[in-house]
Amino acid sequence: MANVVYMSKTGLTGGEATKLDSIDGAGLVVGDVAFVTVSNVQYIYKWAASTAAESSPDVIAADANGGDNRWLLQGITGKDLTISGLTASLPVFTDANKKLESKSVADTRTALGLGTADSPTFASPTVTGLTASGLTASLPVFTDGSKNLASKSIADTLTALGVGAWTDYSATSTILTFDPIDTKYIYYKTIEKIVFVKFYILGHSSGADFSFTLPTAAVGTTFAATFHVWDAGSPLDHIGYLRMTGTTVTLYKSQTAASTDWTDGGALKLSVGQFFYEIA
């Protein structure tokens, strides 16, 4: 039987004679076509094998004798398609009724979640369980010169953060005044703009002064207490203190003593302490 084209329908569902679903399925043949015009919108349907539930406008079931066939909405393939009602040079979206409509650039950016052109906003991504090849397990991660992720050893990480190991400065420091120095420990560590120092100096006095130097000058003058003090070969029953100006740390055997108060003449003198100071 030849296929038939139906042209007179002006509605899709409802069962009235003007509606597509009013055509009795008993008289239809697979391949029949219907052109339905609803409010100046043209729909094209083909009668085809289908048991899909009716869902207007995509699937229309005949009210009578439809069986395992349905009216299925057809798409349109065209070249250089021109659609009235659209605005030139603007993005095209479908509306709630699947009709094509033009959107302004601003409305398009909003629909795409891009915000305004002057100040775009982007959602912050949430990443769970990210695994990056080329990294080493259980090591800190930095970005390299090309902004690629790279693993760093603990030692390199501490260096990058300015948290190095303690540096022994006792062999380089100028220590006054001893002959000889029996024991000397002078260690420092720099973290950004702060230098931490710990020291232990014991020897036979050859002068009234007691001082040592550090490699980096202090900003202003730094004062601190010392833990343990010896003079003239005997421990004192009070703490001492120190003053650092520039790169020189001057040690005092008491809070009221002058720098020249250390006993000369070869007797043991000692000072032990730790402090920190600011650098430029």
Residue 155 host element (H or E): helix 154-160
Q: Which of these three, 73, 105, 127, is where a domain ends?
A: 73
At residue 139, the pLDDT reads 87
Confidence grade of residue 114 (pLDDT, cut at 50, 70, 90): confident
Please state the separation of Cα 150 from the chain's center in Å: 15
Q: What is the DSSP letter of 53?
A: P
Query: C-alpha angle with apex 53: 50 to 57, nearest 5 degrees?
Result: 90
Residue with tokens 């100071």: 277
Q: Which of these three, 53, 73, 93, is where a domain ends?
A: 73
H-helix segments, 175-263: none
Q: What is the pLDDT of residues 55-79, one digit of tens each?
A: 999 999 999 999 999 999 998 776 6
At residue 4, the pLDDT reads 92
Print the domain residue range for 14: 5-73
Rg over CA atoms, the chain: 45
**112 domain-assigned:** no
Mean pLDDT, the chain, rounded, equals: 89
Confidence grade of residue 214 (pLDDT, cut at 50, 70, 90): very high
Q: What is the DSSP letter of 260?
A: G
Range 244-268 average pLDDT = 87
pLDDT tops 80 at residue 46: yes
Q: What is the pLDDT of residues 134-190, one digit of tens each?
A: 889 888 988 888 888 889 888 788 777 766 679 999 999 999 999 999 999 999 998
Phi, psi at 274, each rounded to 5°: -150, 150
Residues 153, 155, 158, 159, CA torsion sign: negative
Residues 6+ apart with CB under 8 A from 4: 28, 29, 32, 33
**116 domain-assigned:** no
Q: Which of these three, 48, 73, 98, is where a domain ends?
A: 73
CATH code, 234: 2.60.40
**230 domain-assigned:** yes
At residue 119, the pLDDT reads 60
**130 domain-assigned:** no
**236 domain-assigned:** yes
Lowest mean pLDDT among 37-46, 106-115, 216-225, 268-277: 106-115
At residue 280, the pLDDT reads 93
Q: Which residue has the higher pLDDT, 101 or 134?
A: 101
At residue 117, the pLDDT reads 58
What total number of domains does the chain contain? 2
- Confidence (pTM): 0.46
* 70 three-state secondary structure: strand
**215 domain-assigned:** yes
Q: What percent of the chain has pLDDT over 90?
A: 59
Residue 276 host element (H or E): strand 268-278
Closest CA to 11 of 30, 46, 43, 36: 36
**119 domain-assigned:** no
Tell me which long-range contacts 47-53 makes (C-beta under 8 A, separation of at least 24). Answer: 47/71, 48/72
Q: What is the pLDDT of residues 115-150, one digit of tens each?
A: 665 665 666 777 677 777 788 988 898 888 888 888
Phi, psi at 158, each rounded to 5°: -60, -40
Range 77-90 average pLDDT = 78
At residue 79, the pLDDT reads 66
Residues 6+ apart with CB under 8 A from 19: 9, 10, 11, 12, 13
Range 224-248 average pLDDT = 92
Asked whether 45 and 72 are in contact (CB, 8 A), the reply is yes
